[in-house]
Amino acid sequence: MKVAVVGATGLVGTKMLQVLAERNFPVTELLPVASERSVGKEIEFKGKKFKVLSMTDAIAAKPAVALFSAGGSTSLEWAPKFAEAGITVIDNSSAWRMDTTKPLIVPEVNADVLTAADKIIANPNCSTIQMVVALQPLHQKYKINRVVVSTYQSVTGTGVKAVDQLKGERNNSVKGEDAEYPMAYKYPIDLNVIPQIDVFLDNGYTKEEMKMVNETKKIMRDDSIRVTATTVRIPVMGGHSESVNVEFENDFDLTEVKNLLSQSPGVVVVDDPANAQYPMPMDAHEKDEVFVGRLRRDETQPNTLNMWIVSDNLRKGAATNAVQIAEYLVANNKL
Protein backbone atom coordinates (compact mmCIF):
# COMPACT_ATOMS: atom_id res chain seq x y z
CA MET A 1 0.00 0.00 0.00
CA LYS A 2 1.33 3.42 -0.97
CA VAL A 3 1.20 5.81 1.98
CA ALA A 4 1.97 9.55 1.89
CA VAL A 5 2.96 11.46 5.02
CA VAL A 6 2.49 15.19 4.42
CA GLY A 7 4.60 17.26 6.79
CA ALA A 8 6.99 14.33 7.17
CA THR A 9 9.85 16.44 8.54
CA GLY A 10 7.83 18.07 11.35
CA LEU A 11 7.40 16.94 14.96
CA VAL A 12 4.09 15.10 14.37
CA GLY A 13 5.06 13.92 10.87
CA THR A 14 8.22 12.33 12.24
CA LYS A 15 6.14 10.65 14.94
CA MET A 16 3.70 9.38 12.28
CA LEU A 17 6.59 7.66 10.49
CA GLN A 18 7.71 6.12 13.78
CA VAL A 19 4.20 4.86 14.61
CA LEU A 20 3.63 3.45 11.10
CA ALA A 21 6.83 1.44 11.50
CA GLU A 22 6.16 0.30 15.07
CA ARG A 23 2.62 -0.84 14.31
CA ASN A 24 3.70 -2.58 11.07
CA PHE A 25 1.18 -0.69 8.96
CA PRO A 26 1.25 -2.34 5.50
CA VAL A 27 3.35 0.31 3.75
CA THR A 28 4.67 -1.00 0.42
CA GLU A 29 5.84 2.43 -0.73
CA LEU A 30 6.36 5.50 1.44
CA LEU A 31 5.86 8.98 -0.01
CA PRO A 32 7.25 11.58 2.40
CA VAL A 33 5.99 15.07 1.55
CA ALA A 34 7.14 18.41 2.92
CA SER A 35 7.49 22.07 1.96
CA GLU A 36 9.29 23.03 -1.24
CA ARG A 37 12.51 23.81 0.64
CA SER A 38 12.65 20.21 1.89
CA VAL A 39 11.97 18.54 -1.47
CA GLY A 40 14.83 16.24 -2.44
CA LYS A 41 16.06 15.76 1.11
CA GLU A 42 16.08 12.22 2.46
CA ILE A 43 14.27 10.73 5.42
CA GLU A 44 14.68 7.24 6.85
CA PHE A 45 11.86 4.73 7.30
CA LYS A 46 12.41 1.13 8.39
CA GLY A 47 16.10 1.34 7.57
CA LYS A 48 15.59 2.68 4.03
CA LYS A 49 16.08 6.18 2.62
CA PHE A 50 13.22 7.99 0.88
CA LYS A 51 13.38 11.29 -0.98
CA VAL A 52 10.97 14.04 0.11
CA LEU A 53 8.43 14.81 -2.60
CA SER A 54 6.39 17.85 -3.53
CA MET A 55 2.60 17.87 -3.11
CA THR A 56 2.06 17.57 -6.87
CA ASP A 57 4.40 14.59 -7.21
CA ALA A 58 2.74 12.87 -4.26
CA ILE A 59 -0.72 13.23 -5.81
CA ALA A 60 0.60 11.90 -9.14
CA ALA A 61 1.95 8.82 -7.32
CA LYS A 62 -1.64 7.99 -6.22
CA PRO A 63 -1.16 6.74 -2.64
CA ALA A 64 -4.14 4.99 -1.04
CA VAL A 65 -3.94 7.18 2.04
CA ALA A 66 -2.24 10.45 3.00
CA LEU A 67 -1.58 11.36 6.62
CA PHE A 68 -1.50 15.16 6.85
CA SER A 69 0.31 17.11 9.54
CA ALA A 70 1.30 20.31 7.82
CA GLY A 71 -0.97 22.97 9.34
CA GLY A 72 -4.46 24.23 8.61
CA SER A 73 -3.77 26.47 5.61
CA THR A 74 -1.81 23.72 3.83
CA SER A 75 -4.59 21.26 4.52
CA LEU A 76 -7.33 23.59 3.28
CA GLU A 77 -5.42 24.06 0.03
CA TRP A 78 -4.17 20.53 -0.62
CA ALA A 79 -6.44 17.99 1.10
CA PRO A 80 -9.26 18.54 -1.43
CA LYS A 81 -6.77 18.02 -4.30
CA PHE A 82 -5.64 14.71 -2.80
CA ALA A 83 -9.28 13.73 -2.21
CA GLU A 84 -10.24 14.58 -5.81
CA ALA A 85 -7.54 12.15 -6.94
CA GLY A 86 -9.24 9.40 -4.91
CA ILE A 87 -6.74 9.52 -2.03
CA THR A 88 -8.10 9.23 1.53
CA VAL A 89 -6.74 12.09 3.64
CA ILE A 90 -6.45 11.80 7.43
CA ASP A 91 -5.76 15.35 8.56
CA ASN A 92 -4.21 16.34 11.88
CA SER A 93 -4.90 20.09 11.62
CA SER A 94 -7.98 21.92 12.85
CA ALA A 95 -9.02 22.77 9.27
CA TRP A 96 -11.81 20.21 8.82
CA ARG A 97 -12.75 19.22 12.37
CA MET A 98 -15.98 21.17 12.66
CA ASP A 99 -16.97 20.81 8.99
CA THR A 100 -20.32 19.03 9.18
CA THR A 101 -19.51 17.08 6.01
CA LYS A 102 -16.26 15.65 7.42
CA PRO A 103 -16.05 12.91 10.08
CA LEU A 104 -14.04 13.72 13.23
CA ILE A 105 -12.72 10.40 14.47
CA VAL A 106 -11.35 8.74 17.58
CA PRO A 107 -11.41 5.02 16.65
CA GLU A 108 -12.35 3.78 20.15
CA VAL A 109 -15.35 6.13 20.16
CA ASN A 110 -16.87 6.64 16.70
CA ALA A 111 -14.97 4.85 13.91
CA ASP A 112 -18.26 3.18 12.96
CA VAL A 113 -19.40 6.38 11.19
CA LEU A 114 -16.65 6.02 8.56
CA THR A 115 -17.47 4.98 5.00
CA ALA A 116 -15.40 4.43 1.86
CA ALA A 117 -16.83 7.71 0.55
CA ASP A 118 -15.09 9.74 3.28
CA LYS A 119 -12.02 11.12 1.55
CA ILE A 120 -11.13 13.79 4.12
CA ILE A 121 -11.18 12.56 7.72
CA ALA A 122 -10.31 14.90 10.59
CA ASN A 123 -8.04 13.91 13.47
CA PRO A 124 -9.24 15.70 16.64
CA ASN A 125 -7.34 18.02 18.94
CA CYS A 126 -4.83 16.17 21.16
CA SER A 127 -6.44 17.18 24.47
CA THR A 128 -9.90 16.20 23.20
CA ILE A 129 -8.77 12.76 22.01
CA GLN A 130 -7.49 11.54 25.37
CA MET A 131 -10.51 12.90 27.22
CA VAL A 132 -13.18 11.28 25.02
CA VAL A 133 -11.40 7.90 25.06
CA ALA A 134 -11.86 7.89 28.85
CA LEU A 135 -15.33 9.46 28.85
CA GLN A 136 -17.03 7.31 26.19
CA PRO A 137 -17.54 4.11 28.25
CA LEU A 138 -18.81 6.18 31.18
CA HIS A 139 -21.20 8.13 28.95
CA GLN A 140 -22.66 4.89 27.58
CA LYS A 141 -23.28 3.61 31.10
CA TYR A 142 -24.27 6.69 33.13
CA LYS A 143 -24.94 9.47 30.53
CA ILE A 144 -22.78 12.56 30.93
CA ASN A 145 -24.50 15.87 31.60
CA ARG A 146 -21.53 18.16 32.13
CA VAL A 147 -17.72 18.12 31.96
CA VAL A 148 -15.35 20.62 33.59
CA VAL A 149 -11.78 20.12 32.37
CA SER A 150 -8.50 21.84 33.15
CA THR A 151 -5.51 20.79 31.05
CA TYR A 152 -1.79 20.72 31.79
CA GLN A 153 -0.30 20.55 28.31
CA SER A 154 3.19 19.65 27.14
CA VAL A 155 5.30 22.10 25.14
CA THR A 156 5.54 19.44 22.40
CA GLY A 157 1.97 20.39 21.51
CA THR A 158 3.31 23.72 20.25
CA GLY A 159 6.18 22.22 18.26
CA VAL A 160 9.96 22.11 17.96
CA LYS A 161 10.36 25.83 18.64
CA ALA A 162 8.68 25.48 22.05
CA VAL A 163 10.82 22.47 22.93
CA ASP A 164 13.91 24.52 22.03
CA GLN A 165 12.67 27.42 24.16
CA LEU A 166 12.18 25.20 27.21
CA LYS A 167 15.56 23.51 26.74
CA GLY A 168 17.26 26.87 26.19
CA GLU A 169 15.76 28.37 29.34
CA ARG A 170 16.60 25.25 31.35
CA ASN A 171 20.20 25.18 30.12
CA ASN A 172 20.69 28.87 30.84
CA SER A 173 19.36 28.53 34.38
CA VAL A 174 21.45 25.42 35.08
CA LYS A 175 24.68 26.60 33.49
CA GLY A 176 24.32 30.28 34.28
CA GLU A 177 24.74 31.11 30.62
CA ASP A 178 22.88 33.57 28.44
CA ALA A 179 22.65 31.68 25.15
CA GLU A 180 20.13 32.61 22.46
CA TYR A 181 17.08 30.42 21.91
CA PRO A 182 13.80 30.83 20.01
CA MET A 183 10.73 32.19 21.80
CA ALA A 184 7.65 30.16 20.92
CA TYR A 185 5.72 31.84 23.72
CA LYS A 186 5.36 35.45 24.81
CA TYR A 187 6.66 34.50 28.27
CA PRO A 188 9.24 32.09 29.72
CA ILE A 189 7.89 28.54 30.02
CA ASP A 190 10.54 27.01 32.32
CA LEU A 191 9.52 27.41 35.99
CA ASN A 192 6.28 28.93 34.75
CA VAL A 193 2.71 28.07 33.74
CA ILE A 194 0.97 29.87 30.87
CA PRO A 195 -2.86 29.84 31.04
CA GLN A 196 -3.26 30.46 27.31
CA ILE A 197 -3.18 27.96 24.44
CA ASP A 198 -3.96 29.47 21.04
CA VAL A 199 -5.64 32.86 20.60
CA PHE A 200 -8.39 34.38 22.75
CA LEU A 201 -11.88 34.54 21.29
CA ASP A 202 -14.64 37.10 21.89
CA ASN A 203 -16.15 35.00 24.70
CA GLY A 204 -12.91 35.15 26.74
CA TYR A 205 -12.05 31.50 26.08
CA THR A 206 -9.12 30.44 23.93
CA LYS A 207 -9.49 28.65 20.63
CA GLU A 208 -8.03 25.50 22.25
CA GLU A 209 -10.68 25.59 24.98
CA MET A 210 -13.52 25.92 22.49
CA LYS A 211 -12.04 23.07 20.40
CA MET A 212 -12.48 20.81 23.43
CA VAL A 213 -16.06 22.01 23.88
CA ASN A 214 -17.17 21.58 20.27
CA GLU A 215 -15.15 18.52 19.29
CA THR A 216 -16.32 16.51 22.31
CA LYS A 217 -19.96 16.94 21.30
CA LYS A 218 -19.26 15.97 17.68
CA ILE A 219 -17.12 12.90 18.45
CA MET A 220 -19.46 11.59 21.15
CA ARG A 221 -22.50 12.40 19.00
CA ASP A 222 -24.32 14.20 21.78
CA ASP A 223 -24.89 17.96 21.68
CA SER A 224 -26.49 17.83 25.12
CA ILE A 225 -23.11 17.30 26.85
CA ARG A 226 -22.05 20.60 28.39
CA VAL A 227 -18.28 21.14 28.41
CA THR A 228 -16.25 23.97 29.89
CA ALA A 229 -12.46 24.04 29.63
CA THR A 230 -9.36 25.88 30.81
CA THR A 231 -6.23 24.93 28.86
CA VAL A 232 -2.78 25.56 30.29
CA ARG A 233 0.78 25.13 28.99
CA ILE A 234 3.32 23.69 31.43
CA PRO A 235 7.09 22.98 31.18
CA VAL A 236 6.74 19.26 30.42
CA MET A 237 7.66 17.20 27.35
CA GLY A 238 6.14 13.77 27.99
CA GLY A 239 2.44 14.33 27.38
CA HIS A 240 -0.74 16.17 28.31
CA SER A 241 -2.55 15.82 31.65
CA GLU A 242 -6.16 16.71 32.45
CA SER A 243 -8.17 17.20 35.60
CA VAL A 244 -11.72 16.26 34.65
CA ASN A 245 -14.91 16.67 36.69
CA VAL A 246 -17.83 14.72 35.19
CA GLU A 247 -21.47 15.08 36.20
CA PHE A 248 -23.68 12.14 35.18
CA GLU A 249 -27.42 11.79 34.71
CA ASN A 250 -27.32 8.56 36.74
CA ASP A 251 -25.43 7.57 39.85
CA PHE A 252 -22.39 5.33 39.63
CA ASP A 253 -20.47 2.82 41.69
CA LEU A 254 -16.76 3.67 41.92
CA THR A 255 -15.64 0.05 41.65
CA GLU A 256 -17.82 -0.37 38.58
CA VAL A 257 -16.30 2.80 37.05
CA LYS A 258 -12.80 1.38 37.52
CA ASN A 259 -13.83 -1.94 36.00
CA LEU A 260 -15.52 -0.25 33.05
CA LEU A 261 -12.44 1.83 32.30
CA SER A 262 -10.08 -1.11 32.78
CA GLN A 263 -12.01 -3.08 30.17
CA SER A 264 -12.20 -0.20 27.67
CA PRO A 265 -9.96 -0.30 24.58
CA GLY A 266 -7.04 2.09 24.75
CA VAL A 267 -7.45 2.85 28.47
CA VAL A 268 -5.08 1.88 31.31
CA VAL A 269 -6.22 2.52 34.89
CA VAL A 270 -3.44 3.56 37.28
CA ASP A 271 -5.27 4.28 40.51
CA ASP A 272 -3.66 3.21 43.78
CA PRO A 273 -3.43 6.26 46.05
CA ALA A 274 -2.19 4.20 49.01
CA ASN A 275 0.97 3.44 47.06
CA ALA A 276 1.17 6.84 45.31
CA GLN A 277 0.28 5.26 41.96
CA TYR A 278 -1.36 7.61 39.45
CA PRO A 279 -0.75 8.61 35.81
CA MET A 280 2.07 11.05 35.03
CA PRO A 281 3.33 12.39 31.68
CA MET A 282 6.75 10.79 32.18
CA ASP A 283 5.06 7.36 32.33
CA ALA A 284 2.83 8.01 29.29
CA HIS A 285 5.74 9.16 27.11
CA GLU A 286 6.08 7.04 23.92
CA LYS A 287 2.99 4.99 24.80
CA ASP A 288 -0.26 4.81 22.83
CA GLU A 289 -2.71 4.32 25.71
CA VAL A 290 -4.75 6.83 27.69
CA PHE A 291 -3.94 6.55 31.40
CA VAL A 292 -6.64 7.27 34.00
CA GLY A 293 -6.37 7.64 37.77
CA ARG A 294 -7.27 9.70 40.87
CA LEU A 295 -10.82 8.35 40.50
CA ARG A 296 -13.02 9.69 43.28
CA ARG A 297 -16.45 11.07 43.99
CA ASP A 298 -17.02 14.81 43.95
CA GLU A 299 -18.38 15.22 47.48
CA THR A 300 -20.01 18.59 46.73
CA GLN A 301 -22.78 17.29 44.47
CA PRO A 302 -24.48 14.02 43.44
CA ASN A 303 -23.56 11.76 40.49
CA THR A 304 -20.23 13.51 39.93
CA LEU A 305 -16.79 11.99 39.40
CA ASN A 306 -13.28 13.47 39.51
CA MET A 307 -10.63 11.86 37.32
CA TRP A 308 -7.09 12.50 36.08
CA ILE A 309 -6.28 11.65 32.44
CA VAL A 310 -2.79 11.52 30.91
CA SER A 311 -1.60 10.62 27.41
CA ASP A 312 1.32 11.22 25.05
CA ASN A 313 0.01 14.08 22.91
CA LEU A 314 2.27 13.35 19.94
CA ARG A 315 1.20 9.71 19.86
CA LYS A 316 -2.44 9.06 20.85
CA GLY A 317 -3.08 12.80 20.68
CA ALA A 318 -1.91 12.98 17.06
CA ALA A 319 0.15 10.39 15.17
CA THR A 320 -1.18 7.15 16.68
CA ASN A 321 -4.81 8.24 16.39
CA ALA A 322 -4.28 9.04 12.69
CA VAL A 323 -2.62 5.66 12.06
CA GLN A 324 -5.40 3.88 13.98
CA ILE A 325 -7.95 5.54 11.69
CA ALA A 326 -6.02 4.22 8.70
CA GLU A 327 -5.85 0.76 10.30
CA TYR A 328 -9.63 0.78 10.75
CA LEU A 329 -10.16 1.74 7.09
CA VAL A 330 -7.87 -1.08 5.92
CA ALA A 331 -9.42 -3.68 8.24
CA ASN A 332 -12.95 -2.77 7.11
CA ASN A 333 -12.21 -2.39 3.38
CA LYS A 334 -13.10 1.31 3.41
CA LEU A 335 -10.08 2.70 1.56
> Nearest 5°: phi and psi at 93?
-85, 180
- Return the half-sphere exposure (C-beta side, CA atoms, 13 A cut-off) of residue 332: 15
Crossing angle (nearest 10°) for helices 11-22 and 320-331:
40
Query: pLDDT tens digits, residue range 20-57?
Result: 999 999 999 999 999 888 898 999 999 999 999 999 99
Quick one: pLDDT at residue 320?
98
Of 158, 209, 168, 208, nearest in space to 188 by CA: 168
Quick one: pLDDT at residue 90?
98
Q: Specify whether 195 is located in the same domain as 279.
A: yes
* % of the chain beyond a pLDDT of 90: 94
Residues tagged active-site: 126, 240
Query: pLDDT tens digits, residue range 135-194?
Result: 999 999 999 999 999 999 999 999 999 999 999 999 988 777 777 899 999 999 999 999
Q: Specify whether 102 is located in the same domain as 158.
A: no
Q: Specify whether 68 is located in the same domain as 137.
A: no
Q: Specify whether 115 is located in the same domain as 144.
A: no
Interstrand relation of 42-45 and 48-51 (parallel, antiparallel or unpaired): antiparallel
198 pLDDT more than 90? yes
Structural domain containing residue 62: 2-124+318-331
- Are 243 and 306 spatial neighbours (Cβ–Cβ below 8 Å)? yes
Quick one: pLDDT at residue 33?
96
Q: Specify whether 258 is located in the same domain as 116.
A: no
Full DSSP string of 196-265: --S-B-TTS-BHHHHHHHHHHHHHTT-TT-EEEEEEEE-S-SS-EEEEEEEEESS---HHHHHHHHHTST
Quick one: pLDDT at residue 204?
98
SS3 at position 13: helix
> Rounded to two decimals, what is the model's pTM?
0.96
Give first-to-last CA distance, the chain, whole Å.
Answer: 11
Q: Specify whether 114 is located in the same domain as 151.
A: no
Quick one: pLDDT at residue 175?
77
CATH number at residue 327: 3.40.50.720
230 pLDDT more than 90? yes
Give the dihedral of Cα atoms 100, 105, 110, 115; nearest 10 deg: 70
